[in-house]
């Protein structure tokens, strides 16, 4: 059973823009957690991990091998290692903090929790807001809460990981080609339908790569050519962050594939999987 671990592919609104498996591909194998939420639902790492644990258990109960695929490292880490048991944030505190300009929130975080402030970029609005609401609502730093995580499955399953780290030039060329194809195959219509819903700008789905760029194009702020160029840049930047995260954060014992992925060597990857 294939279990999706990509934070954009959980949404039914963006099958093209998130590069979900095609209907034919999905029909060829049992799968879970692709397009199972709509854009109105904010999917957090904790929520996804709970759903993924259920999917893994379902696969085991059915005598199937759960194969978790996707590039959202935080999702995978939360599933394997668990999550800090942070209590529910006071609603009034959350509302007040989320309304602050990022520079004001960051200054307040520096005063209240210098450890988390030092760990975050001054422009990282979502993580700054989260760290600030945690310290002000619970009286404890997120860094302190994270010392004791619960709910991870790493100790209860046999892991057979494979990290794909192909040559960057090859990867970036595929990113560019994929964005061109998505623009021609329905991505613009997907964003048009998404905008009709009137979702807040900080909703996770509204931050999916391609949505801000195509939204700006649809509103007349930029031309199609600029939207494509900016979308390609955002895709390559995200791919670089993913590449770096998995290369540096995944355990050294995890198997790695560092060649191109094509029809001539796909058999080698299958052999690696079979030998894990």
Q: If you ran DSSP here, which 8-state letter would residue 190 be given?
A: H
Cα 250 from Cα 80, distance rounded (Å): 12
3-state secondary structure (DSSP) of residue 2: strand
Q: Tell me the per-residue pLDDT of 26-80, one tens digit each, with 9 for 90 and over.
A: 999 999 999 999 999 989 888 999 999 999 999 999 999 999 998 798 899 999 9
- Burial (CB count <10 Å: 0-12, 13-18, 19+), residue 107: middle
Give the residue extent of every domain in the chain. Answer: 1-85, 91-147, 160-276
Long-range contacts of 117-123 (CB under 8 A, 24+ apart): 119/143
CATH class of 160-276: mainly alpha
3-state secondary structure (DSSP) of residue 100: coil
DSSP string, 29-96: S-EESSS-B-TTS---HHHHHHHHHHHHHHHHHTT---EEE---HHHHHHHHHEE--PPPPPHHHHHH
Residues 143, 119 contacting (CB under 8 angstroms): yes
Alpha helices, DSSP H only, in the chain?
23-27, 45-61, 73-81, 91-98, 102-112, 114-119, 125-138, 142-145, 168-184, 187-196, 211-218, 224-249, 266-275
Burial 149-188 (b: 16+ CB within 10 A, else e): eeebbeeeeeeeeeebbeeeeebbeebbeebeebbeeebb
Residues 132, 112 contacting (CB under 8 angstroms): yes
CATH class of 1-85: alpha beta
What's the CATH code, domain 91-147? 1.10.20.140
Give the DSSP H/E element, type plus range, for residue 163: strand 162-164
Is the model's pLDDT at 276 over the cut of 80? no
3-state secondary structure (DSSP) of residue 132: helix
Q: Tell me the per-residue pLDDT of 228-271, one tens digit each, with 9 for 90 and over.
A: 999 999 999 999 999 998 999 888 888 898 988 888 888 877 77
Q: Tell me the per-residue pLDDT of 63-74, one tens digit each, with 9 for 90 and over.
A: 999 999 987 988
Q: What torsion do the CA atoms of 123, 125, 131, 135 make, to the nearest 10 degrees?
A: 100
Nearest to 148 by CA among 76, 82, 73: 82
Task: Look at residue 79 in the predicted model and tell me its pLDDT.
Answer: 95
Domains 1-85 and 160-276 fall in the same CATH topology: no
Give the DSSP H/E element, type plus range, for residue 255: strand 255-257
Mean pLDDT for the chain? 92
């Amino acid at each position: 059973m294939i279990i999706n671990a990509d934070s954009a592919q959980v949404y039914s609104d963006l099958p093209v823009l998130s590069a979900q498996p095609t209907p034919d591909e999905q029909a060829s194998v049992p799968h879970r957690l692709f397009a199972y939420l709509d854009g109105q639902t904010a999917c957090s790492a904790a929520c996804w991990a709970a759903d993924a644990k259920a999917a893994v258990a379902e696969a085991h109960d059915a005598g199937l091998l759960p194969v978790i695929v996707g590039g959202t490292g935080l999702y995978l880490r939360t599933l394997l290692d668990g999550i800090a048991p942070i209590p529910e944030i006071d609603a009034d505190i959350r509302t007040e903090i989320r309304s602050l300009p990022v520079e004001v929130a960051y200054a307040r975080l520096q005063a209240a929790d210098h450890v988390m402030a030092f760990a975050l970029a001054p422009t990282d609005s979502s993580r700054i807001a989260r760290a600030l609401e945690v310290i002000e609502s619970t009286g404890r730093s997120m860094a302190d809460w994270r010392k004791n995580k619960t709910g991870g499955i790493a100790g209860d399953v046999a892991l057979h990981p494979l990290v794909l780290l192909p040559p960057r030039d090859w990867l970036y060329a595929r990113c560019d080609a994929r964005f061109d194809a998505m623009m021609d195959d329905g991505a613009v219509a997907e964003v048009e339908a998404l905008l009709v819903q009137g979702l807040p700008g900080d909703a996770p789905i509204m931050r999916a790569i391609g949505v801000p760029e195509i939204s700006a194009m649809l509103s007349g702020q930029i031309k199609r050519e600029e939207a494509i160029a900016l979308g390609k840049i955002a895709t390559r930047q995200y791919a670089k962050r993913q590449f770096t995260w998995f290369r540096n954060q995944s355990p050294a014992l995890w198997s790695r594939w560092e060649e191109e992925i094509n029809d001539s060597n796909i058999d080698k990857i299958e052999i690696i999987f079979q030998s894990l």
